[in-house]
Amino acid sequence: LPWAKPKTKRAKRFLDNRAPKLTENVKNAMIMKGGNTSMTVTQALKDIYALKKPSAVLYKKKNITRPFEDSTSLEFFSKKTDSSLFLFGSHNKKRPNNLIFGRLFDFHVLDMIELGIEKYNSLSDIKSSKCPEGTKPMLVFAGDAFDHENEHKCLKSLLTDFFRGPVVPSVRLAGLEHVLHFTALEGKIYMRSYRSLLKKSGCRTPRIELEEIGPSFDFILRRTHLASDDLYKTAHKQPKALKPKKKKNISHDTFGTKFGRLHMQKQDLAKLQTRKMKGLRKRRGPAAAAVVAGETSLKTTEVE
The stretch among 50-58, 105-113, 256-264, 277-285 that binds another protein (CB under 8 A) is 105-113
For the residues of 244-273, what is the DSSP string, one character each?
Answer: PPPPTTEEE-TT--EEE--------GGG--
Q: Which of 34, 89, 102, 137 binds another protein (CB under 8 A)?
A: 137
Check binding of 171 to another protein (CB under 8 A): yes
To another protein, the closest distance from the beta carbon of 25 in angstroms equals: 7
- Window 31 to 50, contacts with another protein (CB under 8 A): none
Check binding of 21 to another protein (CB under 8 A): yes
Report which DSSP code applies to 83. Answer: -
Check binding of 17 to another protein (CB under 8 A): no
To another protein, the closest distance from the beta carbon of 163 in angstroms equals: 10
Angle at CA of residue 98, ends 49 and 155, nearest 5°: 75
> If we measure between CA atoms, which residue out of 102, 120, 107 comes closest to residue 215?
120
Greatest alpha-carbon pair distance for the chain in Å reads 120
CB-wise, 90 or 182, nearer to another protein? 182
Phi and psi at residue 270, to the nearest 5°: -65, -35
Check binding of 100 to another protein (CB under 8 A): no
For the residues of 16-35, what is the DSSP string, one character each?
Answer: HHHS--SSPPPPPEEEEE-S
C-alpha to C-alpha distances, 60 to 32, 46, 230, nearest whole angstrom: 7, 10, 36
Check binding of 5 to another protein (CB under 8 A): no
Q: Which of 37, 71, 84, 224 binds another protein (CB under 8 A)?
A: 84
Q: Which of 4, 168, 262, 272 binds another protein (CB under 8 A)?
A: 168
Check binding of 291 to another protein (CB under 8 A): no
> If we measure between CA atoms, which residue out of 35, 26, 96 comes closest to residue 57?
26
Check binding of 157 to another protein (CB under 8 A): yes
CB-based contacts of 122: which residues, under 8 Å, 6+ apart? 43, 44, 46, 47, 214, 215
CA–CA dist 89, 226 (Å, integer) = 19
Q: Which of 70, 125, 133, 144 binds another protein (CB under 8 A)?
A: 144
The stretch among 40-48, 181-189, 253-261, 272-280 that binds another protein (CB under 8 A) is 181-189
Q: Which of 35, 207, 277, 297 binds another protein (CB under 8 A)?
A: 207
Interface contacts to another protein, rule CB under 8 A: 19-22, 24-25, 27, 84, 103-107, 110, 136-144, 146-147, 156-157, 160-161, 164, 167-174, 176, 179, 181, 183, 185-186, 190, 192, 194, 196, 198, 201-210, 212, 232, 234-239
